[in-house]
Structure 1
Amino acid sequence: MSDNIKEKNEAVNINEEINMDQSEVEENKTEEVIEEVIEESMDDFMEQIDKSMNRIYPEDILKGRVISVNDEEVIVNIGYIMDGIITREEFSEDGILNPRDIVNVGDEINAFVVKVDDGEGNIVLSRKRAERIVVWDDLQKFYDKEEDITVGIDELVKGGALAHFKGVRIFIPASHVSASYTEDLTEYIGVEMKIRLIEFDKDSKKVVGSRKVVEKEELDVLKNNLWSVIKIGEKRNGVVRRLEKYGAFVDIGGTDGLLHISEMSFKRILHPSEVMSEGDKIEVIVQDFDKEKGRISLKLAVQYENPWDDIYSRFNVGDIVEGNVVRLKPFGAFIDIGEGIEGLLHISEISEERVNKVSDVLKINQKVEVAILDIKQDEKRISLSIKEALNNDSSYDFDDYEEDDKGIEPTLGDLFKDKFDKLKF
């Protein structure tokens, strides 16, 4: 081989070695760059993860979402690398309650961080401790915004009742349990109701609520609705709220109407309590109303049978009937002759002798025999007389008083003895 060829081959070999060295260098540099990029990416990734994770500390109060619940514990996602655990005892103020009866998977709850690590890598949480703290902030908002809350009456105390809202005791004065007067508060024990906070002091832990305020606002709405739709002649369901001597006040949906005593029964009654009681549910008809004065007149939708409709088929002028004295007046007495009918026994018809004072002769509940003098169906009046009953009574027989073997003749006292006995002067 010539010297020129050798030189060319050596040059080629040298170039190849140089190219190989350069490739190795470039390859190494590429690997280093890739490693640097990966390392930087991992750092960025971990930094992003770290930033996305909330740092938690003992006594923090966090929002979490229930991801699992069983009879003894609740697992909560609190946005951390690990989920938190709430035991049954730490879930509610009443540790006996089963968590399944309180929350469901997906519910959002407040959680108090008890321990970040219990030694086994678990985050220990408490819902009841969180509620104790958060509830005061919530109550402050409800009080400031005058928003209603729902509570249940737990017990009665002097002057009112007690309710609890997420562990906080709320006092409800007796005068604020209802818009209407309630003498016996025991009926409210265990009852859930909406109340408004009327006093709130976070520092002294004093909370006072009122159902009456809420009810009054609800009644105002009902009243406005009622006055816009009420019509004469319409039927309405009502509740007897108050009895007075002259009638009953009936709540017909936001406001009270008056059912006069004269509309309660065809039979004369002295007090509404004879036919109804407070709290009774009745159906009434609107007779009349005055929106400006806020007055509504009512009558019973289901009327009692009118005993005067067939008065002539039961009583006739001249009949002698037994009655019961129900009322005494200076001018006479009212006699109940049965079947819902009362008649007037005028003072002049009590006795043949002059009677100056009715009460000197007759007494309430005394039974007497009277004759019917007159019947006026349209006016619902019957006139009665004891005198006529005595004069027309043929129940005695004069033959009973014929002269006996001794020739003794009967006296007027003997003849009318039984009749005078019927009058209890």
Structure 2
Amino acid sequence: MENENREQTMEDLLKDFDVKRIHTGDILEGVVIDVNDKEVIVNIDYAFDGIIAKEDLTNTDRNPLEVVSKGDKIKVYVLSPHDGEGYVQLSRNKALEITEREEIKEAFEKGENIKVYVKEEVKGGLAAYYGNIRVFIPASLASRERIQLISLVGKELEVKIIELDLRNKKVVASRRVIEDALYESKKKELWANIKAGEKRSGTVVKILKSGAIVDLGGITGLIHINDLAWGRVKRVEDVVKLGDKVEVFVGEVDAKKERVSLILKDVNQDPWTTEVSKTKVGDVVEGTVVKFLNFGAFVEIFPGVEGLVHINEITDENIAKPSDALTLGQKVKVKVLDINKEDKKISLSIKDADEKSKEYLKYNDSDEGISLGDLFGNLFNN
């Protein structure tokens, strides 16, 4: 009885003032004037303000404070011109149901992107919402990267509608097509700007026996095993691991074939410049036997610098092969016979270095038994 009297009073109030009439089912535009965690108050340019309950504001579990803010303009649907409490009962969800269908249809026809709220992970993908319209995102189209689908729940995603059947409430969207387009755009830009000799940051994405594949952020390049370090590298994993962040130099670029070679070793620290330039023919240095050939052995005298010791320069003894006198990894003294900086070749001799050492020892041995008297003769005799 009290509600009936109150409704009658409101009817009388509307009759007394020259105001517009609203009816159930009307769609109006209003301005949010207050919002809390349970409801939203909206000015609809009417004798009474409107009220939106939380369940009529959004179909998600989000707090109304996360959905709208004071001052926001929103479209609302009139559920009841008066709720018995002095407000017009409104629904944002109902208004959106009417307008969203046209918006999503237009976006699909024009190939435009829309933003959806991911509500939950379901079988085969994600359930998202464009307002009140359920949008399914297949797992394979959620991202171009391998991700945990649960990590997208509760987030807003920009997607493209790829299948639309509103009559049967079938809306399928893809995030991956957007990411693929961005990736291809960035890739094209990279190929247009990448230059030999410059330094780039990248991530090791694959390990091969011959080297490592590095992603430069849109394009990938190969670091050959010989370009990982100046010294000899036996296993790629000894220098880089999968997922490592690396700074590389760009080697050769073939944009047409989309191929690029990369260099991890510092090209500014070329041992042929930093070390060999200090070395002269005739110098005796220490090195390590790193490789055998039928006609000789290679000895590394600096990291990244190997010289050839011909089989005739290994020893004065008659040997059939280098391994008769040497072992891999053996430390040896070598004498520099020749340096060809242009072709980066060095000729070395082990036997000459050994003879020089023997001469030095012979000199020292011959002096061992000499006394001061022998050296100075009769100088101290009266």
TM-score higher than 0.5 here?
A: yes
Partner of 1:111: 76
Matched, 1:54 2:22: yes
Aligned residues: 341
Q: 1:239 aligns with which of 198, 202, 211?
A: 202
Query: Which among 150, 160, 177 is matched to residue 213 of structure 1?
Result: 177
> Is this contact kept in 2: 1:324–1:337, CA < 8 A?
no
Report what 2:33 is aligned to: 67
Distance 1:239 1:76, change over 3 A: same
Identical aligned residues as a percent: 30
1:306 aligned residue: 270
Match of 1:381 among 323, 328, 345: 345
CA–CA separation in structure 2 for the residues paired with 1:381 and 1:317 = 15
Aligned CA-pair RMSD: 5.0
Return the letter of the residue paired with 2:176: K
SS in 2 for 1:125: strand
After TM superposition, the structure 1 stretch with the greater mean CA deviation from structure 2, 140-149 or 151-160, is: 151-160
Q: TM-score, normalised by structure 2?
A: 0.63
1:125-183 deviation digits (Å, cap 9, x = unpaired): 333565567555543333332211345777777766665554635324346612xxx45
In the TM superposition, what are the counterparts of 1:214-363 in structure 2 within 5 Å?
A: 214-222=178-186, 230=193, 235=198, 237-240=200-203, 242-243=205-206, 245=210, 248=213, 250-251=215-216, 265-269=229-233, 274-275=239-240, 278=243, 280=245, 282=247, 284=249, 289=253, 292-295=256-259, 303-309=267-273, 310-313=275-278, 317=282, 319=284, 321-323=286-288, 325=290, 334-344=298-308, 352=317, 354=319, 362=327
Question: Which one of 113, 131, 138 corresponds to residue 148 of structure 1?
Answer: 113
What is the match of residue 195 of structure 1?
Answer: 159
Query: Aligned residue for 1:83?
Result: 49
Counterpart amino acid of residue 342 in structure 2: D
Q: CA 1:165/1:275 → structure 2, altered by over 3 Å: closer, same or farther?
A: same
Gaps of 5+ in 1: 1-44, 400-425
SS of 2:70's equivalent in the other structure is coil
Any conservation in 2 of the 1:53–1:79 contact (CA below 8 Å)? no
Distance in 2, matches of 1:105 and 1:217, equals 37
Task: Give the distance between the partners of 2:41 and 2:284, measured in 1 at CA.
Answer: 91
Counterparts of 1:93-112 in structure 2, within 5 Å, are: 93-95=59-61, 97=63, 99-112=64-77
Distance 1:186 1:358 in 2: 59
User: Does the 8 Å CA contact 2:228/2:265 hold for their aligned counterparts?
Assistant: no
Q: Give the aligned residue type for 1:67.
A: I
- Residue 103 of structure 1 deviates from its aligned partner by 1.9
SS of the equivalent of 1:308 reads helix
TM-superposed deviation, 1:85: 0.6
Distance 1:396 1:289, change over 3 A: closer
Which has the bigger relative contact order, CA under 8 A and spacing at least 6? Answer: 2
CA 1:212–1:390: 2 relative to 1, 3 Å:
farther
Residues 147 and 357 of structure 1: is their aligned pair in 2 closer, same or farther, counting only changes over 3 Å? farther
**1:221-241 deviation digits (Å, cap 9, x = unpaired):** 44565666x485684755347
Preserved CA contact (<8 Å) 1:240 1:249: yes
Contact 2:229 2:265 (C-alpha < 8 Å) held by counterparts: no
Deviations 1:389-416 (A, max 9, x none): 666665999x9xxxxxxxxxxxxxxxxx
Distance 1:257 1:194, change over 3 A: farther
Gaps of 5+ in 2: 1-13, 366-382
Shift of 1:53: 3.0
**Range moving further from structure 2, 62-71 or 288-297:** 288-297
Structure 1's 53 and 175: CA in aligned 2 closer, same or farther, altered over 3 A? closer
TM-score, with structure 1 as normaliser = 0.58
Q: Equivalents in 2 of 1:391, 1:154: separation in Å?
A: 83
